[in-house]
Structure 1
Amino acid sequence: MALKVLAVDDSKTMRDMVSFTLKSAGHDVIEASDGRDALTKLAGSGRVDLVITDVNMPNMDGLTLVKEIRANPTHRLTPILVLTTEADGAKKDEGRAVGATGWIVKPFNPEKLLQVVQKVCP
């Protein structure tokens, strides 16, 4: 089943890699450059099946984005994966506390990313 995925990262290269991996598996991808851009695109695109976000970004970081998404009843149950260089346990706990569904550390393995996507969006 094709998913509609919002990929959020301030690195164009990283967005391209995530996008390529997901599109190769038949999914539709909307790209955003930071949390603020993501909220704008989310409001304009309606419902998405999954959000994948970086943590460290300008304008609005990923954990604030997760909080904002969870505050919106339309997206309260949307799976959110954090894809970041942050491997610190405290940061992961903070991510879970604000509502992140899962955590993947960069650099990511494309097959592993697709496995996690399949697991959180059966």
Structure 2
Amino acid sequence: MPASPPREQLLLVDDEEEALNELAELLDGEGFRCHVATSVKLALQQLTRHPDIALVITDLNMPEESGISLIKRLRDHTAREYLPVIVCSGQIDSVVAGELDRLQVQGVFRKPIYHTRLLDTLSSLFPLDEVQEKLRAVP
């Protein structure tokens, strides 16, 4: 039985490597191709290496540069200004929420992430076609 074709490529950005790898494993299991980065600098390098990345999932609070900084850089870059972004963070106050709304993020998830809700969001952004659904249903 041929493996189902991979779904979209995602970039996961989080300085907590254990959480990053857990999320990558979950999403890989759902057919997404995940690239990971532990900083904004590495995320930008991944975006250059993999121009077909269709969505970024980023943490906000990272030591060197914040997830908001990453999103602003994406919005200022002509080729990536409309790249969908989902934010995952343990702390989001009303000021940050307002900034994220202004930056047009696709979703905001509090850590720890409720995986079912995230998968529902990704499925609505990137629905499986009928062939992919049938291939995924076969054991």
Counterpart in the other structure of 1:93: 98
TM-superposed CA distance for 1:92, in Å, is 1.1
Pick which of 110-119 and 29-38 moved more: 110-119
1:47 match: 52
Give the match for residue 133 of structure 2.
none
The 8 Å contact of residues 79 and 120 in structure 1, kept in 2 or not, is answered as no
1:75 corresponds in structure 2 to 80
With normalisation by structure 2, the TM-score equals 0.81
Identity %: 26
Deviates more, 1:16-25 or 1:85-94: 85-94
Q: Which residue of 1 aligns with 2:130?
A: none
Secondary structure of 2:112's aligned partner: coil
Q: How many residues in Structure 1 have an aligned counterpart in Structure 2?
A: 122
For structure 1, the 5+ residue unaligned runs are none
Alignment check: 8 A CA contact 1:55 1:61 kept: yes
The CA RMSD over aligned residues, in Å, is: 1.4
Residue 53 of structure 1 aligns to a residue whose secondary structure is strand
Inter-partner Cα distance in structure 2 for 1:86 and 1:120: 25
The equivalent of 2:18 in structure 1 is 13
Please report how far the alpha carbon of residue 107 of structure 1 lies from its aligned counterpart in structure 2 after TM superposition: 0.5
Hey, what does 1:38 align to over in structure 2? 43
SS in 1 for 2:57: strand
Under a length normalisation based on structure 1, what TM-score does the superposition of the two structures give?
0.92
Could you tell me which runs of 5 or more consecutive residues in structure 2 were left unpaired when the two chains were aligned.
Answer: 1-5, 128-139
Rg larger in structure: 2
